[in-house]
Amino acid sequence: MATKYKCGVCGYIYDPETGEPRTKTDPGTSFEELPDLWRCPKCGAGKIRFTALK
């Protein structure tokens, strides 16, 4: 099971198993594989604002 990441600003959860259609991120894309400039599709926060969920 891939690790999910939560945005510390708005609470959006990035799930690698589903990807993110709004940012054209394919299912199976790990958080680490996202481009450095990737932003939260809900609030626009940068990757640095995300934390791994256990």
Give the domain ranges of the chain: 5-52
Confidence of residue 30 (pLDDT cuts 50, 70, 90): very high
> CA 30, 14, 40, 10 torsion: positive or negative?
negative
Q: Cα–Cα distances in Å, from 28 out to 8, 25, 50?
A: 22, 9, 18
Residue 47: per-residue pLDDT = 97
Confidence of residue 6 (pLDDT cuts 50, 70, 90): very high
Residue 39: per-residue pLDDT = 96
Residue 20: per-residue pLDDT = 95
Tell me what percent of the residues of the chain surpass a pLDDT of 90. Answer: 93
* CATH architecture observed for domain 5-52: Single Sheet (2.20)
Q: Which two tokens stand for residue 50?
A: 């995300």
Contact 8, 36 (CB under 8 A): no
Q: Characterize 27-54 residue by residue with b for buried, 16 or more Cβ atoms within 10 angstroms of its Cβ, and e for exposed.
A: eebebeebeeebebeeeeeebebbeeee
Determine if the pTM surpasses 0.85.
Answer: yes
Residue 54: per-residue pLDDT = 84
